[in-house]
Amino acid sequence: MVTALTVRLRWLAALIAAVVALALVAFGARDTETSWSSAWTTAVQYPVYQNWSAMGFADQTVRQVFRLSVEGPQVRIRLSNRFGEYPLPVSGATVAASAGGATVVPESVRGLRVGGQSSFEIAPGAEVISDAVRTVGASVAVTLYFDRPTGPATQHGQSLATSYRAQGDHAADPSAAPFTETSQSWYYVASIETLRSSTGDVTVAFGDSITDGYRSTLDADLRYPDQLARVGYRGPVVNAGISGNRLLTDSTVLGDSALARFRRDVLDQPGVGTVVVLIGINDIGLSGSAGPDGVVFPPVSTGQLITGFEALIAQARAAGVRIVGATILPFAGSAYFSPERERLRTEVNTWIRHAGAFDTMVDLEQALATPGDRSRLAAAFDSGDHLHPNDFGYRAMAAVIAPALAT
């Protein structure tokens, strides 16, 4: 016989079970959200006329290859229309293991969805994160098909990696044959995230072209952030450098200033624990002259640069992120050099070394300078323009930075 007490007990048991289930769902959702970690990233920029971004895409497929800093059991892709003027129509997308160039491993091709949808739109100024898919390895090819005109494309100008374009829909095509056009920029892909592993918090390398890896070997992943693992550092490292970027000044060509983009490119990265800041040479080198956007940059002072660094430090400390300051590399012999600009660099470096404002400091000037001449890059590390390191110089930077990250 079912009594009133039995009914009440059953009702209470059902209520408790429902509450527990809801709690587990909420906990699981929260745990899943906090367990994602950046494995690759780039700092997105305004469209420019130097690549495909000004015209955008229409009935075209773009395939791009990215090397992850760490692998995980699942990946998800963050796509950005931050600088787009119109809704971005993504008609099809896949992720696959790269087999070199524009070729992908056929059995690894997986459809990429957002909210369960294989086609979707991204509003102007917005970003979306794809649904998770099983990992496909460290070298990840993301392929996007746009059946309608996109308008100007959010991009990253100096990728030091080849991107590929085909006419028509080839999102799921493993062959390289349709991809007859190439670019050395990235489009729409802002980051790739993996489920967090035990390898530690993410380190974001933040700066200008020297962080971006300018003049390193194309498609070789020899930028200094890439090389950290090659010298013994095992934590995830992602690259938020922009070639030409400045600490204090925004530009539609050289990117938002470091001050303006620090939160989105560093502090908003999932899993971030440390940031390495190397920036200032473009503020100094363009001081009192016009940049590539045609805007005349007023003369900068040591005090202004220090105030800018202090603002980055305050943001990092407020977010609980360790901040590592790097001295600005020598540049004698480059187009930027003058005695006055060298004075600025020397004064800023002296402050970085001795003020104790950063949580720790790495002295890249000392590591890469010519012996006996701290104003000039050592010949073995000079790419030839007396401003940017070569592959060996980027390796030397990684060798200096790795111990600072390990402590």
| 247-276 average pLDDT score | 97
Q: Is 217:391 a contact under the CB 8 Å cutoff?
A: yes
Q: How confident is the model at residue 2 (pLDDT cuts 50, 70, 90)?
A: very low
Percent of the chain surpassing pLDDT 90: 84
pLDDT at residue 148, as a whole number: 97
Mean pLDDT for all residues in the chain: 91
C-alpha dihedral, 163 to 169 to 173 to 179, nearest 10°: -40
Q: How confident is the model at residue 381 (pLDDT cuts 50, 70, 90)?
A: very high
Torsion 248-249-255-259 (CA) sign: positive
Instruction: Give CB contacts under 8 A, 24+ apart, made by 368-373.
Output: 368/329, 368/330, 368/393, 368/396, 368/397, 369/330, 370/330, 373/330, 373/332
Residues 307-345 as b or e (16 or more Cβ within 10 Å = b):
ebbeebbebbeeeebbbbbbbbbbbbebebbeeebbebb
| In the predicted structure, residue 361 carries a pLDDT above the cut 60 | yes
pLDDT at residue 19, as a whole number: 34
What is the distance between the alpha carbons of residues 153 and 209, in angstroms, rounded to a whole number? 21
Tens-digit pLDDT profile for residues 54-74: 999 999 999 999 999 999 899
What is the distance between the alpha carbons of residues 366 and 372, in angstroms, rounded to a whole number? 10
User: What CATH code is assigned to 198-406?
Assistant: 3.40.50.1110
Q: How confident is the model at residue 6 (pLDDT cuts 50, 70, 90)?
A: very low
Domains in the chain: boundaries: 37-191, 198-406
pLDDT at residue 200, as a whole number: 74
Tens-digit pLDDT profile for residues 277-291: 999 999 999 999 988
| Residue 130, SS3 per DSSP | coil
Q: Between these two residues, 14 and 351, which has the higher pLDDT value?
A: 351
Q: How confident is the model at residue 11 (pLDDT cuts 50, 70, 90)?
A: very low
| Beta partners for residue 207, in sequence order | 241, 278
- 156: which DSSP letter? E
| 379-383 average pLDDT score | 98
The reported pTM is 0.90
Of the candidate ranges 11-25, 135-149, 168-182, the one whose mean pLDDT is the lowest: 11-25
pLDDT at residue 270, as a whole number: 95
Task: Tell me the two tokens of residue 44.
Answer: 């997105």
